[in-house]
Amino acid sequence: MVIAHRGASGYLPEHTLEAKALAVAQGAHYLEQDLAMTSDDHLVVIHDPYLDRISDVARRFPERRRPDGRFYVLDFTLEEIRSLRVTSAVVEAGESEFAPEYPGRFPPWSSRFEFHTLQEELEFIRGINYATGRQVGIYTELKAPWLHHDAGKDIAAATYAVLKEFGYDSRDGSAYLQCFDPAELQRIKDDLGPSTGVDLPLIQLMSDTAHQETRVRDAEGAWVPYESDWMMQPGGMAPIAGYADGIGPDYHDLVDEGSEPGDVRVTGMVDEAHDVGLLVHPYTVRADALPSWARHVDEVFSVLYDQAGVDGLFTDFPDLAVGFLARSTE
């Protein structure tokens, strides 16, 4: 299946409702929601825990900048966040200039886009499914639970309350829950799921320790990077199968180093995952950021879907994945 990564984010600003609508029109099977919490406990659909990569927050609220230079969702009310202008992603390219993160995509600071809440996106999906007769699912990610715990907030509990309100409470294929934090997934499986009556398939997102996707408290109580490299080692799948239903690896980790166009070899990770009953949904295929071993995005789809045997994948370009799969079954 095809998961629209932050919507059809290859074409429209990530995580906007416009990008989600386009992804539905392009035939995506699932829409992704990354989440962060506001100071007044609302869930906003946003990839980063900070607002500055995709909005004018630095110009509007310069005094809210933290020492690391970022403007955190946790430091703003929903009303303040709603007042921001959303842009396609920009990167700092000098003292005060900003350049597009992906130069061929929707131009930064064009048109008018806004932030929205998880409730608003679920209402939107319910409406679009009703009007089209489709059954597009959701693929929700809890971003940085540790950062929220540090602020006294439980992003998993807040998310489960909303998912339950919208009827996403069972393994009927309409929803997945993903997270990089294994302790949080274990807590959901053992406590939060049973206590709320929400039983969703849980996906362990994977990355190496260097990417610092999540943190844990050390003996002194300080938050330190979680050492996640064990997941990538042979034998890493069995422990994950104890608390999760699938894995979300970086797709580059499914291909042997040294692979070249026409000579691509896959690692054993997908087979090892399948052997212990785990689904495999790698991230993120981008037609405008191809690996060295592919000259066209169809080669990436072929390696992942056909050669490695993944069960689905995240892509910024849902139309291209849907088109590839349609041609494969002709």
- Give me the helices (H) in 177-278, please: 182-187, 193-196, 237-241, 269-275
Binding residues among 165-184 for ligand G3P as defined by CB under 6 A: 178
Q: Which residues are catalytic?
A: 5, 47
Tell me the site size for ligand G3P, rule CB under 6 A.
10
Binding residues among 258-317 for ligand G3P as defined by CB under 6 A: 283-284, 314
Tell me: does residue 34 bind Ca ion (CB under 5 A). yes
As measured in angstroms, the least distance from the Cβ of 174 to ligand G3P is 18
As measured in angstroms, the least distance from the Cβ of 5 to ligand G3P is 6
Comparison of 111 and 209: residue with beta carbon closer to ligand G3P: 209
User: Could you tell me whether strands 246-248 and 202-205 are parallel, antiparallel, or unpaired per DSSP bridges?
Assistant: parallel
Binder among 205, 237, 247, 269 for ligand G3P (CB under 6 A): 205
Could you give the CA distance from residue 287 to residue 289 in angstroms, rounded to a whole number? 6
User: Could you tell me whether strands 30-37 and 137-142 are parallel, antiparallel, or unpaired per DSSP bridges?
Assistant: parallel
Binding residues among 135-194 for Ca ion as defined by CB under 5 A: 141
For residue 189, give every residue at least 6 positions away whose Cβ sits within 8 Å of its Cβ, in sequence order, or none: 202, 243, 244
Beta strand residue intervals within the chain, DSSP E: 2-4, 30-37, 43-45, 90-92, 98-100, 137-142, 175-179, 202-205, 215-217, 223-225, 246-248, 279-280, 313-315
Comparison of 50 and 314: residue with beta carbon closer to ligand G3P: 314
Tokens coding 95: 């003292």
223 touches 217 (CB < 8 A): yes
| Contact of residue 245 among Ca ion, ligand G3P, none (CB under 5-8 Å per partner type) | none
The region of 133-141, 150-158, 222-230, 290-298 touching Ca ion under the rule CB under 5 A is 133-141
As measured in angstroms, the least distance from the Cβ of 34 to Ca ion is 5
By the criterion CB under 6 A, which residues form the site for ligand G3P?
5, 34, 47, 141, 178, 205, 248, 283-284, 314
